[in-house]
Chains A and B, each alone.
Chain A
Amino acid sequence: MATISAAEQLHAIPALRARKRIGWLAAGVLCVAGAGLLGLFVGPIHLAPVDVFKKLLSVLPFVRDTSHLTATQEAILMQLRLPRVVLAGLVGATLSISGAAYQGAFRNPLADPYLLGAAAGAGLGATMVIVFTHAAAASNLIPVAAFAGALIAVALAYAMGRAGGAGRTATSLVLAGIAVMSFLTAVQTYMQQRKSDTLREVYGWILGRLSTAGWHDVLLILPYITLGAAVILAHRRLLDVLALGDEEADALGVNTRRVRLIVVIAASLSTAAAVAVSGLIGFVGIIVPHIIRLIAGTSYRVILPLSVAFGAAFLILADLLGRTMIAPAELPIGVVTAFFGAPFFALVLRNSRKMI
């Protein structure tokens, strides 16, 4: 009798796992939708939720616009709030899934999307534009320079990590990333100090901001982050195999170096794109995946898709707080993510008996 029930239980495991995953995913989608709507409703100009709904629905084909928004209100909704919410969601999703991907590829719980110097490279690129060009040209050039800087930094770290004899190990890559990061940060600090009149602007960029967001930024990064996320998601099962370490993954027929290279390139590309438009928003990429590990499980089949959903929701809410708490001024979003994220993480950690 006992053996029959054990066998039945065993048969039920794959279906149970799938059902649990779908349940979590549904929860994630609800969170994003909730956070997104909240982000659209709340702001200095009051917009009636009913009208917001109607206006949003009218974007769909064959749905007539029956909302009672004035032209100004409509512009606020469609040209200011909506792109900002969408951008916050995309950046949050990208930073979270990239962080989770780095953590899996390096088997290191402390890895974050900026591990291989992407942040320092982007910071240097943005600083150079702010310091050397006129304000008018800067706003268009900053994303490009930050994107290029981030990619160059990661490529440098990768080349250095491989050149260093033991190029096979993940550790040498992480160390190379730290070296590149320190060097580029030093150069960036030097530049920013030499022209102190731009200090405030540089600092504002480094703390992260979504305030100048518009559809332009969304369209700019969409191809890169979609591609990056698709590649990372496609590797979800292989990242689980990598959890066994290189030796055992190799013995199971997985080319660990190739998998790591592809995942790192995808995560770096999408991180660079996110950083290019948002500045350096910290904390999201490391904390969101860990919260998911604590509440929903440690398989990357769960962590990666949920990182997209909860990362998006988290950053939309953080942005909402950042622009309302001391309105009409804005708190830098990087400050908000850390200020509210850290205590929240402590709470989850305290109430969880699971191991990370």
Chain B
Amino acid sequence: MSGIEIRDVSVHIMHAEILRDVSLDVASGEWLALIGPNGAGKTTLLRAIAGLTPFDGRVLLDGEDVARMHAKQRARTVALVPQRPVLPPPMTVFEYVLLGRTPYIRYFDTEQAGDFAVARSALGRLDIASFADRPLGSLSGGEQQRVVLARALAQEAPILLLDEGTSALDIGSQQQVLELVEELRLMEGFTVVSAMHDLTLAAQFAHTVALISRGRLVGVGDPNHILSVEAIREHYGAEVKIVQGEDGIAVIPVRAASRVQR
């Protein structure tokens, strides 16, 4: 229903080429993980999909050109969870989640009963209803992540973009957040695009991974095919071994010393 078509997208920021000719398709209801080293252009690609950065080429969301969409219509179609979301410390969780309703409220208007209901259900879905009245500044990293997801959920957009949202979390919180996203994807039919650093988690959760390196798309497909020892050495400069686990492959770093011994 709400697939994404990315056609020859290039992005220049102050004369520097950040992305070059990226073409990619994400089917409706699919989870695609963007992987690649720091500075490869993952965040920029997410921002282009969300219509937040000027770019050459075309991005179609459910067949509609994102560059021609009205800002509010765009915000009703795609929700972005940024890498480092701004969480004003004194703002309460409920107030924050309610801001997700912005694309549905007219310019001078305020929230109606329907908006409160959506915000409440988002809090319930992410199991954070009990701290609706707490200020954002008092939350732990994992709780904050849930709150940001709840705001994105309140946006009621069929496409969810996650920008390495889990990188600063401990392994448990990271897993819980990704499981939540998976649950929402299955129940609501969301299309998910997530920029991820943890390749094992990317392989576990995403149907497709797209490897981006120096602004170019260098591989896209099944995680088992894209995540190879050679590709990771070439693009990340890392030595790893790849193990077949129960839920897909696991990418394990290998120390230089142990390499010498072998």
Q: How far is the CA of A347 from the CA of B103 in the complex (A)?
A: 40
Interface size class on chain B is: 35 or more
B133 touches A13 (CB 8 A): yes
Q: Which residue of B lies closest to A237 (CB)?
A: B110
Q: Indicate whether A182 reaches chain B with its CB closer than 8 angstroms.
A: no
Q: Indicate whether B91 reaches chain A with its CB closer than 8 angstroms.
A: yes
Chain A contact residues: helix, strand, loop or mixed: helix
B95 partner residues in chain A, CB cutoff 8 A: 240, 299
The verdict on A251 contacting B50 (CB below 8 Å), with A6-B129, A7-B124, A297-B90 known, is: yes
The verdict on A13 contacting B105 (CB below 8 Å), with A7-B124, A248-B82, A252-B99 known, is: no
A240 touches B99 (CB 8 A): yes
Q: Indicate whether A164 reaches chain B with its CB closer than 8 angstroms.
A: no
Residue of B52, B70, B88, B135 with most partner-chain A CB within 10 A: B88
Interface residues of A in 275-315 (CB under 8 A from B): 293, 297-299, 301
Q: How far is the CA of A84 from the CA of B95 in the complex (A)?
A: 40
B88 touches A10 (CB 8 A): no
Q: How far is the CA of A72 from the CA of B21 in the complex (A)?
A: 84
Interface residues of A in 232-247 (CB under 8 A from B): 234-235, 237-238, 240-241, 243-245, 247
Q: Which residue of B lies closest to A14 (CB)?
A: B116
Interface residues of A in 304-356 (CB under 8 A from B): 354-356
B91 touches A252 (CB 8 A): no
A298 touches B91 (CB 8 A): yes
B108 touches A234 (CB 8 A): yes
Min CB distance A47 to B, Å, is 43
Contact check: which of A234, A241, A250 meets B99 at CB < 8 Å?
A241
Which 7 pairs between the two chains have the least Cβ-Cβ distance?
Answer: A253-B75, A253-B72, A253-B103, A252-B102, A245-B86, A298-B90, A253-B71
- A–B pairs, 28, beta carbons within 8 Å: A2-B130, A3-B129, A6-B130, A7-B120, A7-B124, A7-B129, A9-B133, A10-B94, A10-B120, A237-B109, A237-B110, A237-B111, A241-B102, A243-B86, A247-B52, A248-B85, A250-B52, A251-B75, A252-B100, A252-B102, A252-B103, A253-B102, A298-B88, A298-B90, A299-B91, A301-B110, A354-B90, A355-B137
